Structure 1
Amino acid sequence: MSGPAAELPAGWGATLRRILQQGWPVLVGQWASMAFGVLDTAMTGHASPVALAAMALAVSIYVTVFIGLTGVLHALIPIAAQHFGGRRLADIGRAWGQAAWLSFGLALVGGLAMMFPDAWLAMSGDIDPAVRAQVHGYLYMLILALPAALLFRTVYALNTAVSRPKVVMAINIAGIGFKVLFNWLFIYGKFGLPALGAVGAGLSTALVFWISLGISAVVLRRDPFYRPFRLRMGRPDPKALGELLRLGLPMGASYLIEVTSFTFMALLVAREGIFATGGHQIMANLAALCFMMPLALGVSTGALTAQAIGAGDTLRARRTGAAGLGVCMAGALLTIAVVILARQPIVRAYTSDPGVGAVAVGLLGMLAFFHLFDALQCMSSYLLRAYKVAVIPMLIQAGTLWGIGLLGGWWLSFGPGAGALAGVVAGLMPGAPVGAGTMWLMASVSMAISALMLQYCYWRVAGRRPAGKLAVPA
């Protein structure tokens, strides 16, 4: 791309190449961002089981808040991408400015939600006081990180919409180096610093987010590519903020529904002890790492589809969606094969504790089924958002992930039906605790139902709606 104008692919081969060209930097950038959680989990896991358990609980709470708020800001992607496809470049700058204002308000909401972690921990039963103290400290550190983290997501959304994902990729890769250094200093207490464990991981994350935001501000100001957009904050515009919120709130709710399903799963699994909590955290972290591939392809395919919609090209929009679905499923199958074949060394890289490792290896027996449908529902969701359809996916995910996965999982794991699936868990996930195994089994079933329903909705929407018309959020 030589300048700030959409260059849309013309055929199937060109479409696939464009998806991959835009998808791989998103994937590398997401992996780099995800490396923060991997580093925190691995480095605290080698510090102590208490630090790893605290990390499992604290990260679940933080991710719940952060992902939900991020989803609201990601409404900028289809909005700006449609402007980009239609060559309305100045509208992109106005939309970004309003998203920046929105990020400030969301940071306040998120900070308040994390100030009272005991409310989140109430369902985890009797938690070791040492674990509880580190959870508090980690979250307090991340309250400081939240304003920078959310404003940086508007930069991510802007670059995704205008097909410049390498900018954020480079910043995230640079952040890994800072993260390793700060984790080493603060988790283990080097050069006379106190060993803070999980709290040190939170402090290092806060520092890295502020550094990343500073770098991105320099790029946006000095790179001539962004000048035609006339990026500016301006004054808060109720109409523009309303458009962001009408699309962003159901998108954020969808993100929140998915992440809370696993947040509350972590809090419930904590009832089975430190080994189960640590093993579940490794499984969840690895599943999230695998998710980065379909997420990257979904982001790139959704942005390119929205650009085609903005340009009024119905055929190209549908072709892009179909190509993205095909490459996403192929990538999911490859990911599953790698993880299943290498699960023993993967778990050893996460923890040196044999009890935690045994639980994690057992739970990984469910990863193949879970990831396949997780990838499908991710791509389907992003394609629907390209058409500005967000409410229907939110309702589908609420019914399946909360109703079947979370509520059904609780019922069969720790509620009146506890132990009903013990034989199934033993067969599919040998070595996994019954409660944790049942929760992952029900999460997988709910994900499969959600993915198939979202696929049905996508083909209905893409088949009946002229791509040149901006869709009202549905």
Structure 2
Amino acid sequence: MEQTHSIRQKVYQFIRILFPILISQVALFSMTFFDTMMSGQASSLDLAGVAIGGNLWMPTSTGLGGILIAITPIVGHLSGAQRKSEISGKVMQGLYLALVISGLLILIGTLSLDWIISQMNLEVQVVYIARGYLMAIAFGIPPYFIYQILRGFIDALGKTRITMVITLLSLPINIFLNYIFIFGKLGLPHFGGIGAGIATSLTYYCLTIIAIFTLHRHPYFSEYKLFGHFPPSSWQAWREHLTMGIPIGLSIFLETSIFSAVTLLMSSFNTLTIAAHQSAMNFASMIYMVPLSFSMALTILVGFEVGARRLRDARHYSFIGLGFSFSMAVLTAFLLFLFREQVAALYSKEQDVIQLAQHFLIYAIFFQFSDSIATPIQGILRGYKDVNVPFITALLSYWLVALPTGYFLATTTFLGAFGFWVGLITGITLNACCLVLRLKFIQAKQVKVPSNL
């Protein structure tokens, strides 16, 4: 990355950083998308099983992964401050931390998985598929978390195109593995939804191997000597990382887990409703990759400018990012409304599932506008290393407003399962309003900074 001196240069650099991130996020999420879509082509039971398993794995992986992506603002600030000699040590400590978190998650998951699934009112076959899917995913946890650190390091240096290429190389591998494991091709057994977990786990290994090979061979990264030595673990470095990473991870967990909680509460409805809900939620989550990509790009750019003490430039990037994000939300909402029937048909051959999923997709349209504001602001605030207040607003908005509201509407009104979606829309909108106020407060504090900054 480089310093910019005009709005035009900032827009160009923003797009240059953003576009590869957007492609990477869509491709990375496409693994979950193809897991769900291809499982749905096997049967509605497989779709429901992967839905339950995926909605247990998603908040866990994104929440703990959120702790690890704190490496992005850490590296960004060091890069902006021209303290490059410190970067390698921070990344290596992040890799150690990723392995520790992986081990703890596998241990806790092994001890608690059966109990968690037993608390749901699910058909026996759905339980079997969900459990098998999660057990398969567990084998891919260590490489997945290692990749989060490596990607954060690469992106923080502005080389987002490299992570885009790595992810794009991994996507066809995932699709091919899904095909052979879900449907039992090339002489392999027919695993159904469990095969989606096997394929994703193996893809995580491929993703990480490609990333390590790239970092080892690419000349740009040679000056960092990332794997030149392996320093001893440092609790001080871990504490610095965790101080920022835990609030980020908790904020992401609170946001993603509310969607998973809703899906799990859907277990009181029939398998048809679960399948239709998951189809719509899965596609809405894919669209969410757009504001999430804006968020990640803004963390990189704002963090770089704040590290260099160019606070006016950081504010300019904030306004540019929010303007682009909201414009994209208008476009995606319009397209989703027009093509909701075709979208629903991607997930199932059963007409009843397709019809019901279309109704859920109408509600998903309203997610776009609030997400287009709230999610980029979260990224901006991370660039300022402001992570505690967004955690509090997420807790308030999602768990004290969205979930109770949705549960009340779903159980006491004619809305039924759609009531949960109305509750989600309410919580997302409240969180967006809170984050707007927080950003105004943070940037107002910068007004007193000398004008040369």
TM-score bracket for the superposition, by shorter chain length:
over 0.9
**Counterpart position of 1:450:** 431
**Counterpart position of 2:338:** 341
**Counterpart position of 2:364:** 367
* Per-residue deviation, residues 20-63 of structure 1 (Å, max 9, x unmatched): 11111000011111111111111110101110000100000011
Structure 1 contact 67–255 (Cα < 8 Å) conserved: yes
The 5-angstrom pairing of residues 99-178 of structure 1 reads: 99-115=94-110, 116-125=112-121, 127-178=122-173
Q: Which amino acid aligns with 2:114?
A: D
**Counterpart position of 1:405:** 402
Corresponding residue SS for 1:350: coil
Structure 1 contact 114–139 (Cα < 8 Å) conserved: no
Shift of 1:468: 8.7
TM-score when scaled to structure 1? Answer: 0.92
Shift of 1:447: 0.3
Structure 2 contact 181–192 (Cα < 8 Å) conserved: yes
Shift of 1:407: 2.4
The 5-angstrom pairing of residues 194-205 of structure 1 reads: 194-205=189-200
Q: Which runs of 4+ in 1 moved over 6 A?
A: 466-469
Is 1:44 the counterpart of 2:25? The answer is no
State the alpha-carbon separation in 2 of the partners of residues 355 and 402 from structure 1.
31
The 5-angstrom pairing of residues 276-295 of structure 1 reads: 276-295=273-292
**Counterpart position of 1:242:** 239
State the alpha-carbon separation in 2 of the partners of residues 282 and 171 from structure 1.
27
Structure 1 contact 280–360 (Cα < 8 Å) conserved: yes
Structure 2 contact 81–307 (Cα < 8 Å) conserved: yes
State the alpha-carbon separation in 1 of the partners of residues 76 and 338 from structure 2.
39
Percentage of matched positions with identical amino acids: 24
State the alpha-carbon separation in 2 of the partners of residues 438 and 246 from structure 1.
37
**Counterpart position of 1:212:** 207
State the alpha-carbon separation in 2 of the partners of residues 467 and 189 from structure 1.
64
The 5-angstrom pairing of residues 29-108 of structure 1 reads: 29-108=24-103
Shift of 1:175: 1.1
Q: Which amino acid aligns with 1:102?
A: L
State the alpha-carbon separation in 2 of the partners of residues 144 and 334 from structure 1.
39
Corresponding residue SS for 1:192: coil
State the alpha-carbon separation in 1 of the partners of residues 226 and 49 from structure 2.
41
Q: Which amino acid aligns with 1:121?
A: I
Structure 1 contact 138–201 (Cα < 8 Å) conserved: yes
Is 1:459 the counterpart of 2:426? The answer is no
Shift of 1:109: 2.3
Structure 1 contact 381–454 (Cα < 8 Å) conserved: yes
Q: Which amino acid aligns with 1:9?
A: T
Q: Which amino acid aligns with 2:244?
A: L
Corresponding residue SS for 1:124: coil
Structure 1 contact 310–468 (Cα < 8 Å) conserved: no
TM-score when scaled to structure 2? Answer: 0.96
**Counterpart position of 2:326:** 329
State the alpha-carbon separation in 1 of the partners of residues 282 and 108 from structure 2.
23
Q: Which amino acid aligns with 2:298?
A: T
The 5-angstrom pairing of residues 241-260 of structure 1 reads: 241-260=238-257
Shift of 1:82: 0.8
Shift of 1:117: 2.6
Shift of 1:91: 1.4
State the alpha-carbon separation in 1 of the partners of residues 107 and 392 from structure 2.
26
Structure 2 contact 404–423 (Cα < 8 Å) conserved: no
The answer for unaligned runs of 5 or more in structure 2 is none
State the alpha-carbon separation in 2 of the partners of residues 137 and 24 from structure 1.
36
Count of aligned positions: 447
Is 1:379 the counterpart of 2:376? The answer is yes
State the alpha-carbon separation in 2 of the partners of residues 36 and 119 from structure 1.
27
Corresponding residue SS for 1:300: helix
State the alpha-carbon separation in 2 of the partners of residues 109 and 63 from structure 1.
17
Corresponding residue SS for 1:153: helix
State the alpha-carbon separation in 1 of the partners of residues 364 and 303 from structure 2.
31
**Counterpart position of 1:14:** 9
Is 1:439 the counterpart of 2:420? The answer is yes
